[in-house]
């Protein structure tokens, strides 16, 4: 039998103790042996910190993003080999697509977000400077730096690829190495993906390690700069969270646990409305995708009592059409559970629920299950099972007991207040859904139940056409939930990267803040040269390089002409009497005229390295500009972001952020903002363009 090796301290190794067998979910045949006993697990932590961590910390955010993009492309090119292994876990092609290509897409998404928004630096200035003194020479800002630790990711069996990559993406971007501990039941798929990454040579040595088997005494060797994430059962997560070492060292611990997520049908929905069909489709999809082995799956189906019979009829009809069996067969829509042990656990939970106020509507018995495909009789299959609880307020088991398979319980409510109460009885969920066409009902329900959910989906006929669905965590949205769901938070765009970094408040003079953050701030020293900054290439520009323009006096003709050109005849600009009665006391110039006039003062019109205006940020009008006021602009190079070439033919460039201060004759700021320009680079990227 094959051995499933771990990857530790730069080599593929296998343990020396009692091995555990992994079986084929479809045929039941033995596949692999897994053992990590006797492996240098503690040493792998030091290897990650000293080898991988140091290499990642020296890379800028932009370089880490490019590394992740290259890894994603490499994995995508080898996806078919991963699909073949995915079948061994009982997954259909569509199940594997969510896991494999969904995980790779998360890498792409984070690489893209970082490429657009993060600096080409190892330090991340998180906010604008905060003035702490009257003369503005004492200020502060928050910065994020990489922690010299290691992230230990303990993952669940249901998403062996996505579950790893959705954690790796923000971990690597933060400059932290990772050790992956996959669930043993599906470790063969995680190991295959890790082997592809290691063999690609795209990731620094030590940035990624893998433990197939148990983690031994690794927790005893964690330190305060490290981080631990856990995805799985709440019981196991709570035990790990209470480990003495985590408490003693205040080690960051994030838990994402299974929860009894709900889907609620609004009181307003009738069988004749499109929303009714949307509800039926969403519930059935969530019950059968991954054979119900999803932490986001719908477990509680909450419907108006007057609609129970109609919902039951439609659900039973749709579930009856789901073909179960060998996932390689085209007609099969639901594969197996991950193992026979998992199947037995689901059966025990269903039997418990049947003794706690529930009755079976379909499924719930293995002897009645018809399977498609030869050799599937020994697999870990379980039928789509719909239960009914007539009195969900009297039977707490339906809100406390999760059968982690294709199992859900239908329950009635009489008024929206009761639906809200039932949703809250889940005691914390990863996701809840509401299907309704009534905006007032949706507002009331979400405002009352958002406190108990990490994510909430409101489906109507409009959203349903493009919705990614109840059970689809997305890279840009937070994934996690309160209470039973673990209280953790993952994904959520770049905010997830911050979980693996240290936030520090830096106090000092503007010059010091500018030097530390490598980003000019107002109040810091400026550099004035005779050459206009728009005449310089990206590499030639210095942070703090500044231009103080000539002056321009605003006339009544300016205001009238701008009003005619723009069509903006607002009374504060054009009505002398109305303006006199306003807070300004007299006519004032349009704010956008001020911005336009400022551009006229600082722009160099000739052909040069500046390619285009890329945008404007944080525009604020500070003081009114009146007829006769004189404007002057200080333009300062605030930040530079080098952009990689997408193709060899692209003109190499970077983004330059300019601080713009529009001043009046009293040297008061009348407008403050930043503009972004694309500026050509003198040299293109060396080597292969990704």
pLDDT tens, 586-638? 999 999 999 999 999 999 988 989 999 989 999 999 999 999 999 999 999 99
C-alpha closest to that of 500 among 172, 245, 265, 71: 172
**Res. 686 pLDDT band, cuts 50 70 90:** low
Total Cβ atoms within 10 A of residue 462: 10
**How confident is the model over 252-268, as a mean pLDDT?**
93
* Residue 341, burial from CB neighbour count under 10 angstroms (0-12, 13-18, 19+): exposed
**Angular region, 644: left φ>0, alpha ψ -120 to 50, beta rest:** beta
The pLDDT of residue 257: 87
The enclosing H or E element of 64 equals helix 61-77
The enclosing H or E element of 602 equals helix 591-602
The residue assigned the tokens 């919902």 is: 311
Percent of the chain at pLDDT exceeding 70: 99
Is a pLDDT exceeding 80 seen at residue 551?
yes
**How confident is the model over 566-582, as a mean pLDDT?**
91
The answer to whether 578 and 640 are in contact (CB under 8 A) is: no
The pLDDT of residue 367: 67
- 21-39 confidence digits (pLDDT tens): 999 999 989 999 999 999 9
Least confident of 46-60, 321-335, 444-458: 321-335
Residue 261 CA to chain centroid, in angstroms?
20
Paired tokens of 173: 């971007």
Q: What is the DSSP string of 134-155?
A: TTS-SEEEEEEEE-SS-EEEE-
Least confident of 2-11, 512-521, 529-538, 642-651: 642-651
Active site residues: 256, 295
Which residues share a beta bridge with 621?
671
State the average pLDDT for the chain: 92
Paired tokens of 231: 């995805």
The pLDDT of residue 614: 86
The answer to whether 61 and 114 are in contact (CB under 8 A) is: yes
The pLDDT of residue 161: 95
The pLDDT of residue 643: 82
Percent of the chain at pLDDT exceeding 90: 79
The pLDDT of residue 369: 83
- Say whether 184 sits in a helix, a strand or coil: helix
Total Cβ atoms within 10 A of residue 439: 10
**How confident is the model over 162-175, as a mean pLDDT?**
96
The pLDDT of residue 47: 96
Is a pLDDT exceeding 50 seen at residue 687?
no
Q: Strand 407-413 relative to strand 298-304: parallel, antiparallel, unpaired?
A: parallel
- 107-157 confidence digits (pLDDT tens): 999 999 998 889 889 999 998 888 888 888 899 999 999 999 999 999 999
The answer to whether 489 and 452 are in contact (CB under 8 A) is: no
C-alpha closest to that of 186 among 286, 92, 85: 85
The enclosing H or E element of 298 equals strand 298-304
Q: Strand 610-621 relative to strand 552-553: parallel, antiparallel, unpaired?
A: unpaired
The pLDDT of residue 626: 94
**How confident is the model over 208-216, as a mean pLDDT?**
94
């Amino acid at each position: 039998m094959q051995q499933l090796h771990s990857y530790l301290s730069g080599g593929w190794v296998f343990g020396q103790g009692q091995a555990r067998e992994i079986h084929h979910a479809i045929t039941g045949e033995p596949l692999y042996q897994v053992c990590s006993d006797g492996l240098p697990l503690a040493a792998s932590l030091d290897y990650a910190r000293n080898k991988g961590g140091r290499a990642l910390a020296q890379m800028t955010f932009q370089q880490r993003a490019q590394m992740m993009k290259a890894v994603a492309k490499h994995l995508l090119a080898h996806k078919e080999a991963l699909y073949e292994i995915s079948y061994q876990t009982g997954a259909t092609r569509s199940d594997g697509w969510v896991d494999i290509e969904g995980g790779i897409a998360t890498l792409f998404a984070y690489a893209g977000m970082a490429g657009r928004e993060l600096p080409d630096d190892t330090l991340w200035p998180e906010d604008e400077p905060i003035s702490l003194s009257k003369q503005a020479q004492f200020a502060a800002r928050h910065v994020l730096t990489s922690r010299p630790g290691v992230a230990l990711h303990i993952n669940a069996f249901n998403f062996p690829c996505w579950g790893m990559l959705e954690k790796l993406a923000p971990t690597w971007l933060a400059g932290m190495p990772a050790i992956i501990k996959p669930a043993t039941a599906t470790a063969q798929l995680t190991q295959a993906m890790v082997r592809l990454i290691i063999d690609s040579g795209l990731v620094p040595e030590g940035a990624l390690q893998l433990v197939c088997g148990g983690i031994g005494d690794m927790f005893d060797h964690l330190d305060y700069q490290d981080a631990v994430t856990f995805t799985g059962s709440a019981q196991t997560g709570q035990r790990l969270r209470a480990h003495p070492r985590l408490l003693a060292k205040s080690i960051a611990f994030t838990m994402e646990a299974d929860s009894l997520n709900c889907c609620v049908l609004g009181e307003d929905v009738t069988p004749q409305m499109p929303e009714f069909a949307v509800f039926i489709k969403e519930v059935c999809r969530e019950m059968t995708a991954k054979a119900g082995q999803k932490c986001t799956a719908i477990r509680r189906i909450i419907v108006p009592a007057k609609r129970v019979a109609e919902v039951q009829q439609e659900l039973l009809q749709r579930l009856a059409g789901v073909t179960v069996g060998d996932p390689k067969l085209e007609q099969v829509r639901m594969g197996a559970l991950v193992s026979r042990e998992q199947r037995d656990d689901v059966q025990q939970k269903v039997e418990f629920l049947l003794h706690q106020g529930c009755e079976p509507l379909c499924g719930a018995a293995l002897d009645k299950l018809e399977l498609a495909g030869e050799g599937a009789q020994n697999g870990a299959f379980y039928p789509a099972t719909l239960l009914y609880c007539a009195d969900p307020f009297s039977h707490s088991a339906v809100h406390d007991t999760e059968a982690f398979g294709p199992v859900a319980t239908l329950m009635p409510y009489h008024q929206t207040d009761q639906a809200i109460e039932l949703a809250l009885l889940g005691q914390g969920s990863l996701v809840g859904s509401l299907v309704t066409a009534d905006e007032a009902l949706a507002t009331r329900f979400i405002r009352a139940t958002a406190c108990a959910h990490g994510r909430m989906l409101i489906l109507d006929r409009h959203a349903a056409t493009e919705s990614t669905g109840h059970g689809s965590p997305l890279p840009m949205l937070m994934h996690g939930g309160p209470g039973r769901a673990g209280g953790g938070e993952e994904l959520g765009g770049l905010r997830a990267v911050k979980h693996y970094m240290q936030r520090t408040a830096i106090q000092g003079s503007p010059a010091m803040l500018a030097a530390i953050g490598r980003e000019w701030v107002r109040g810091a020293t400026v550099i004035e040269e005779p050459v206009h900054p728009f005449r310089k290439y990206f590499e030639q520009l210095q942070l703090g390089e500044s231009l103080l323009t000539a002056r321009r006096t605003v006339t009544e003709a300016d205001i009238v002409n701008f009003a005619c050109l723009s069509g903006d005849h607002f009374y504060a600009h054009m009505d002398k009497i109305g303006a006199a009665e306003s807070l300004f006391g007299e006519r004032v110039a349009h704010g956008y005229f001020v911005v336009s006039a400022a551009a006229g003062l600082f722009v160099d019109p000739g052909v040069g390295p500046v390619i285009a205006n890329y945008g404007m940020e944080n525009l604020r009008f500070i003081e009114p500009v009146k007829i006769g006021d004189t404007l002057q602009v200080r333009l300062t190079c605030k930040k530079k972001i080098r952009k990689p070439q997408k193709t060899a033919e692209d003109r190499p460039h970077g983004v330059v952020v300019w601080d713009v201060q529009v001043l009046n004759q009293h040297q008061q700021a009348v407008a403050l903002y930043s503009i972004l320009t694309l500026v050509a680079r003198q040299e293109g990227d060396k080597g292969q363009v990704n």
